Chains A and B, each alone.
Chain A
């Protein structure tokens, strides 16, 4: 692992330690891009052992580095740089300009030059001074008066400090990234920021592939959080993430999104519509071809939700919908196909709900299973998630010729209805957290075998036309070539 990489993937909190959509996509991308050489930088919350990795690094990964993002010891323990009052008088306007530029989402030449000074090898001491010197405190109070003068100061101070500690930590990491032609991050956030900073300060190209909408997700998380007990503290974090994302959208050389809807939403957050390229996920269509069968020909009708038992998948709405379907169509069997151990409390609540609704004979929790077997048997796949990007399960169901009922999240509508491709719907869209809407859509499909099979055929046609992995691999290769060539 000593060669220079073509592409450095900067990944936050997922690959290779956590399984999931983004991690699977990254593993697939690295393997598919061979012979391009990859370096992987994992930004993790706490130190981890290599044995904890859930993915084996492909052979074309030539460099791998873990960075504990919340490890502030290098800054806090660094010998504080001695800055004279005069030095601070020169620094203060530059700091103010940098922060103003940052808030505006566009760093000028002066700010970039200043940031370059901050990522020098001895930057820890300087950053320590920015956190602890009295003039730095004066800068903080000036910003406070300008931006949030009515807010409680003590909590503002600690929140401000915590936000900046993370950004300072990222600045210290810029110089530690491996050499590469392209810095690619599967999302904005800290990974994307680090990739863009490295490209902006030390050369190279930056690419961001947004799977979901990072800013929206953080915003939802922060609004629900308990650790921030006052609204303005949440606003401070949201503002920080907004500024960060906006700058990344402006700065990155290529911004890729998975679906058109995402592109529109991203434009609301500041990305220029024309600069965003849509590259969807792809799947191995041939793998699912054996599962294709005529649907809804025999009772009981088999309805499945493929996914882990997790509150974000809103399994409870699915169970309630099953109870409503049974009232009108008693001959049904429902399955939840996926691991149940991620959220044990939630799983227990789901089991109790089944008992309450007298569905113990109807709903089965299969646990982790080979989905291909189930795609062969199912008459309908249901997805009740409250949040998704481009759900693989919908694509797999479509490739297996199973009609789908999905909530109106992420790319579901685009996948099922198509983008004016004339192929017809591959399923029906229901409202989020609306069991009645889900049940109505399911009843329409399972009660009409003709409709079910027409939708199944449309799904197969759409997947084969637009979402085959060969198409996606070719698109990414072209993007990488373009960026690497541009660099040359």
Chain B
């Protein structure tokens, strides 16, 4: 009876508003925490160096940005493949596949990252120890993205976030204690911060899932439509970075540190701030995907595989539609509203922008609203395993972003940032239509795919 009363109490207990607030804050931090932790660590390190030397550590930031871009572009297609592969394997309780394929991906990632960054490092005029640190950091970051993908498949994002916080904390403590302000030492301190969550991720996976001898496998590459998925994610990342690359290397906007490391004072800082603001939109996207898309979709699939009546499937599809509409509205109304408020405050002079061109930030910040929508629909399409559509969508974004950015540079300073904004708007619209079509014919597509799969298996 005591147990029953306890259960009853738990059910009857109404959560306080503060409880809900804390829970939502934790969930939001889980979604975008690593970004803010990184931002915090870099800000502390950057500002300290700036205060101590009266010079911003530009090379440190540039190496970090290049390492992030290269590691994301290289690793994202592969770790997304692994993530989707593991989702299927975990459903089948094939736990050995986790380690075997993670090790396979790790080997592949080290080789590919080294192969890509080594020639790039040769272009640079930096000293060799910096080149090696750049290569090492890129590899390390790639491994972190990979292990993050696996931890995410295992639903261990909170644990990863905790170790990430520890890593960044260690980097700051080391930086403070050693009073370092040269680029090499700062990069090594930051590398330590990245190495902690990556190493812990590997250790956790091996401790929990190692049952027999490890065999290096690349089964995730043999997954159905792996080529489409690989290309679409690669193009998505290229599309996301291409406006930056253009600004970095276009003669009209480029600032050159050496033949490899370029940056753009007109674009980088506004974009960085806009991107950081967009993390609030990203919280809505990630939370929306988990609550409003993933859950009804899982229920839909459960009902489909357990032979429920059609109206039960229709009910889940209706919930999925509603969920997508809710998240879209939240992004437009809440995040969009917040963006408009920020721009208004900038306009009336409450905030002053630390860069001379006032237009670029307006375009970029507005662009992030549409980019959040586009990213949300992108994740839904990826969730529905429609990689052909995803490829087209990302191709549109990449092409419009690249073309629009070139055009904006050609048109002059007041148009900087319009390329990204227009690309995000067009892509969001196209993605919206795609999602509507795909969710509208969800059961048909599931059956068609199953029949095609059966046909291929028969062959």
Q: Contact between A137 and B444 (Cβ–Cβ < 8 Å)?
A: yes
- Any B CB within 8 A of the CB of A94: no
Interface string of B297-317 (1 = CB under 8 A from A): 000000011111111010000
Name the segment of A142-150, A168-176, A402-410, A465-473 touching the other chain: A142-150
**Known A132-B448, A154-B304: A141·B455 in contact at CB below 8 Å:** no
**Are B307 and A153 neighbours in the complex by a CB distance under 8 Å?**
yes
B444 touching A152 by the CB < 8 A rule? no
Residue A71 interfacial (CB < 8 Å): no
Cα A137 to Cα B306 with chains together (Å)? 20
Residue of A with least CB distance to B445? A134
Report A136 CB to chain B, min CB distance, Å.
9
CB-contact partner of A153 in B308, B448, B451, under 8 A: B308
Q: Across the two chains, which residue of chain B brings its CB closest to A155?
A: B307
B447 sits at the interface (CB 8 A): yes
Contact B309 A153 (CB under 8 A): yes
A76 contacts B by Cβ under 8 Å: yes
Nearest chain B CB to A68 CB, angstrom units: 16
A134 touches B310 (CB 8 A): no
Check if B436 is an interface residue, CB within 8 A of chain A. Answer: no
Q: Which residue of B lies closest to A76 (CB)?
A: B455
Given A76-B455, A154-B304, A134–B444 Cβ distance below 8 Å?
yes
**In B424-456, which residues have CB < 8 Å from any A CB?**
441, 443-444, 447-448, 451, 455
Closest B residue by C-beta to A157? B447
Q: Confirm or deny: A151 has a beta carbon within 8 angstroms of a beta carbon on chain B.
A: yes
Chain A CB count within 10 A is highest, among B305, B313, B451, for: B451
Smallest Cβ-Cβ distance to B451: which chain A residue: A132
Bound-state CA distance A152–B306 (Å) is 8
A209–B306 alpha-carbon span in the complex (Å): 43
Contacting pair A144 B444 (CB below 8 A): no
A interface footprint on B303-347 (CB within 8 Å = 1, 0 otherwise): 011111111010000000000000000000000000000000000
- Does B447 contact A137, Cβ atoms closer than 8 Å? yes
CA distance A251 to B210 in the complex (A): 68
Report yes or no: B448 in contact with A154, Cβ–Cβ below 8 A.
no
Task: State the CA gap A149–B309 with chains docked (Å).
Answer: 7
Interchain CB contact under 8 A, B311 and A149: yes
Are A144 and B310 neighbours in the complex by a CB distance under 8 Å? yes
Task: For residue B310, give the distance in angstroms from its CB to the closest CB of chain A.
Answer: 4
Q: Of B307, B311, B313, which is in contact with the most chain A CB atoms at under 10 Å from its CB?
A: B307
A137 (CB) vs chain B CBs: closest residue:
B444
Main DSSP-derived SS at the A contact region? helix
Residues of A within 8 A of B310 (CB): 141, 144-145, 149, 153, 156
Bound: A157/B443 CA distance, A:
11
Contact A152 B441 (CB under 8 A): no
CA distance A144 to B308 in the complex (A): 13
Within 8 A of A (CB), among B342-382: none
- For B441, list chain A residues within 8 Å (CB): 134, 137
Determine which of B307, B448, B455 lies in contact with A152 in the assembled complex, contact meaning CB atoms within 8 Å. Answer: B307
**How far, in Å, is A162 (CB) from chain B's closest CB?**
12
Task: Report how far A230 CA is from B308 CA in the complex, Å.
Answer: 13
CB <8 Å contact, A152 and B308: yes
Please, which residues of chain A bring their CB within 8 A of the CB of B447?
Answer: 137, 157
Chain A residues with CB under 8 Å of B448's CB are 132
Shortest distance between the CB of B446 and any CB in chain A (Å): 9
A154 touches B307 (CB 8 A): yes
A270 to B374, CA, bound (A): 60
Report yes or no: B309 in contact with A152, Cβ–Cβ below 8 A.
yes
Cα distance, A154 to B447, chains bound together (Å): 9
A145 CB contacts on chain B under 8 angstroms: 310
Interfacial chain B residues near A150, Cβ < 8 Å: 309
Chain B residues within 8 Å of A153, by CB: 304, 307-310, 313, 443
Question: In the complex, what distance in Å separates the CA atom of A157 from the CA atom of B445?
Answer: 13
In this complex, what residue of A is CB-closest to B447?
A: A157
In the bound assembly, the distance between CA atoms of A156 and B443 in angstroms comes to 13
CA distance A76 to B305 in the complex (A): 24
CB distance from B443 to the nearest CB of A (A): 8
Q: Which residues of chain B from 396 to 448 have a CB within 8 Å of any chain A CB?
A: 441, 443-444, 447-448
Q: How far is the CB of A233 from chain B (nearest CB, A)?
A: 10
**How far in angstroms is the closest Cβ of chain A from B287?**
31
| Shortest Cβ distance from residue A127 to the other chain B in the assembled complex, whole angstroms | 15
Q: Which residues of B contact A134 (CB under 8 A)?
A: 441, 444
Q: Which of B309, B448, B451, B455 has the most CB of A within 10 A?
A: B309
Residues from chain A with a CB closer than 8 A to the CB of B443 are 137, 153
Residues of chain B with a CB closer than 8 A to A154's CB: 304-305, 307-308
Docked pose: A76 CA to B444 CA in angstroms = 17
Chain A min CB distance to B317 (Å): 12
Q: 1/0 per position for A214-231, CB-CB distance to B under 8 A?
A: 000000000000000010
A480 to B443, CA, bound (A): 52
Specify the chain B residue showing the minimal Cβ separation from A145.
Answer: B310
Question: Roughly how many angstroms separate A155 CA and B305 CA in the complex, as a whole number?
Answer: 9
- CB A381 to nearest CB in B, in angstroms, measures 50
**B305 nearest in chain A by CB position:** A154
Complex Cα–Cα for A156 and B306 (A): 12
- Bound together, the chains give a CA A255 to CA B304 distance in angstroms of 45
Looking across the interface, which residue of chain A has its beta carbon closest to that of B452? A132
A153 CA / B308 CA spacing, docked (Å): 6
Tell me the complex Cα distance, A141–B317, Å.
15
Residues of B within 8 A of A137 (CB): 441, 443-444, 447
For residues 65 through 86 of chain A, which have their beta carbon under 8 Å from a beta carbon of chain B? 76
In the complex the two chains form, what is the Cα distance from A448 to B391 in whole Å?
90
Chain B, residue nearest A138 (CB): B444
Bound CA–CA A270/B308 (angstroms): 34
Q: For residue A132, which residues in chain B have a CB less than 8 angstroms away from its CB?
A: 448, 451
A378 to B311, CA, bound (A): 66
Neighbouring B residues of A156 by C-beta, 8 Å:
310
Interface of chain A residues 213 through 258 with chain B (CB within 8 A): 230
In the complex, what's the smallest C-beta–C-beta distance from B130 to chain A, in angstroms? 57
**Inter-subunit contact B444/A151 (CB<8 Å):** no
Q: How far is the CA of A134 from the CA of B447 in the complex (A)?
A: 10
* Complex Cα gap A155–B310 (Å): 11
CB distance from A77 to the nearest CB of B (A): 9
Cα(A282)–Cα(B226), bound, Å:
67
Q: How far is the CA of A155 from the CA of B307 in the complex (A)?
A: 6
- Cα A152 to Cα B304 with chains together (Å): 9
Cα of A151 to Cα of B447 in the assembled complex, Å: 17
Q: How far is the CB of A257 from chain B (nearest CB, A)?
A: 40
Tell me the A125-140 residues at the B interface (CB within 8 Å).
132, 134, 137
Q: Which residues of B contact A149 (CB under 8 A)?
A: 309-311
Per the bound structure, the CA–CA distance linking A384 and B310 in Å amounts to: 47
Chain B residue with the shortest CB-CB distance to A141: B310
| CB neighbours of B306 from chain A (8 A) | 152
In the complex formed, the residue of B with least CB distance to A151 is B309
Question: Cβ of B305: which chain A residues have Cβ within 8 Å of it?
Answer: 154
A417 to B444, CA, bound (A): 59
Which residue on B lies nearest to A144, using beta carbons?
Answer: B310
Q: Can you list 19 A-B contacts (CB < 8 A)?
A: A132-B451, A134-B444, A137-B443, A137-B447, A141-B310, A150-B309, A151-B309, A153-B307, A153-B309, A153-B310, A153-B313, A153-B443, A154-B304, A154-B307, A154-B308, A155-B307, A156-B310, A157-B447, A230-B307
Nearest 5 CB-CB pairs, A to B? A152-B307, A153-B310, A137-B444, A154-B307, A155-B307
| Known pairs A149-B311, A152-B306 / 18 extra A-B pairs, C-beta < 8 Å | A132-B451, A134-B441, A134-B444, A137-B441, A137-B447, A141-B310, A144-B310, A150-B309, A151-B309, A152-B307, A152-B308, A153-B307, A153-B308, A153-B309, A153-B443, A154-B307, A154-B308, A155-B307
